[in-house]
Structure 1
Amino acid sequence: MTTARRSDATRAAILEAARERFAADGYERATIRAIARDAEIDPSMVMRYYGSKEGLFTAASDFELELPELAGLPSRHIGPVLVAHFLDRWERDDVLTALLRVGVTHGAGVERMQTIFAEQLGPITRGVCPDPADAPRRAALVASQILGMALTRYVLRLPPAVEMSTDEIVAWLGPTVQRYLTAPEP
């Protein structure tokens, strides 16, 4: 294996271990030593590649929401489609859980969450809301529903939220998200 491939493999192992550790422990309790142990490398390698815990978190939290293409979708279906999409993303990737945990406890997490939602949810909202100038407020309302459900279901693990099926959550939250996106201003 070439040095570049070993380096890439080491970086990938570190990022995977960091994502799992940040998701499980949050930013404050996750340590470079624990992440290195999980990646089966020396802690100095983590520092060599990422410089600091914050640098590692920034790299580990590089995340695409992979939002669906909404063009051509009847506007009345956008809310339920987005809710279903977000639930799917939370179910298949611990990075969002790590971001949420860190986002409520540490400045770097807050900034990362703000950036992801502004850069990725913002354009979707501008494209579907009646007045694009109102898109930031509407995106914040959508985020309140999505993040609120994620917090109760994946972080706090409140039994009623965990026990609900995806279809039930979409049925409850979809109309609310839809209203936030497309309804006339109250």
Structure 2
Amino acid sequence: MAFTERSAAARRAILAAARDSFATTGYEQSTIRSIAAAAGVHSSMVIRYFGSKSELFVATVADEAPVPEVGDLDDFGARFARRFVEYWEGSHCTGPGALLRVAPTHPDHAAQVQAVFDRLIADPVRAALADDPDVERRVALLVATAVGFVYTRHILRLEPIASLPPAALIPALAGTLQAHLTGALDEPPGAGRDQGRGRE
């Protein structure tokens, strides 16, 4: 959808109001009507621009996407890890964090989590590795690693990961992500220490 300057401003206002509502009120209690009122627009505009509350939630998360453009594959792991860790350490993750807490027991919320991580990780990686026959396996491993990190540190708060400083997490996460993206997937554990492109 092409946006005029006026409609773009309304869309930004809706996203800002939605982000604040999801973070302070929670996903369940937030309504299209209350978000529209906070944004100063009619509720029909929220539906017009975003379709549903679920799609609006995904848009608020993707609007601050922690994933850089895939770009050069050889340093993607490091770039991804830094932005991902910094994103989840920020206070603006209250809304996504709340959704992740209830997702295991609510199938509809789990579908939203899937949509968020598809938007932030799977879609750009699929585009960058369109000719790689292992692209779906790589995407699955990247998403599993990202979700596992968030649950371990921010939801379950398992030690010692929960207490490690971000600077210690970034290089460890970077190596794992890089291996999933460019490493040889069929090597047994401990083999192929070189995490180069692995597909030459």
TM-score, structure 2 normalization: 0.62
Identity %: 26
Q: Which residue of 2 aligns with 1:60?
A: 60
* Shift in CA distance, 23/147, structure 1 to aligned 2, threshold 3 Å: farther
CA distance in 2, matches of 1:106, 1:46: 29
Q: Which residue of 1 aligns with 2:46?
A: 50
CA distance in 1, matches of 2:135, 2:62: 24
Q: Which residue of 2 aligns with 1:149?
A: 149
Answer yes or no: is the 8 Å Cα contact 1:138–1:181 preserved in 2: yes
Q: Which residue of 1 aligns with 2:118?
A: 114
CA distance in 2, matches of 1:159, 1:147: 14
CA distance in 2, matches of 1:152, 1:25: 24
Answer yes or no: is the 8 Å Cα contact 2:23–2:93 preserved in 1: yes
* Shift in CA distance, 93/134, structure 1 to aligned 2, threshold 3 Å: farther
RMSD (CA atoms): 3.7
CA distance in 1, matches of 2:127, 2:98: 21
* Shift in CA distance, 91/54, structure 1 to aligned 2, threshold 3 Å: same
Answer yes or no: is the 8 Å Cα contact 1:61–1:99 preserved in 2: no
TM-score, structure 1 normalization: 0.66
- The structure showing larger relative contact order (alpha-carbon pairs under 8 Å, at least 6 residues apart) is 1
Answer yes or no: is the 8 Å Cα contact 2:126–2:136 preserved in 1: yes
CA distance in 1, matches of 2:152, 2:120: 20
* Shift in CA distance, 14/25, structure 1 to aligned 2, threshold 3 Å: same
Matches within 5 A, 1:64-143: 64=65, 65-67=67-69, 69-70=71-72, 75=74, 77-91=75-89, 94=92, 98=96, 101=99, 104=103, 105=109, 107-124=111-128, 126=129, 132-143=132-143
What stretches of structure 1 of length at least 5 have no aligned partner? Answer: none
CA distance in 2, matches of 1:157, 1:46: 39
Partner AA of 1:82 in structure 2? F
Answer yes or no: is the 8 Å Cα contact 1:27–1:106 preserved in 2: no
CA distance in 2, matches of 1:27, 1:58: 11
Answer yes or no: is the 8 Å Cα contact 2:61–2:116 preserved in 1: yes
* Corresponding residue pairs, total: 170
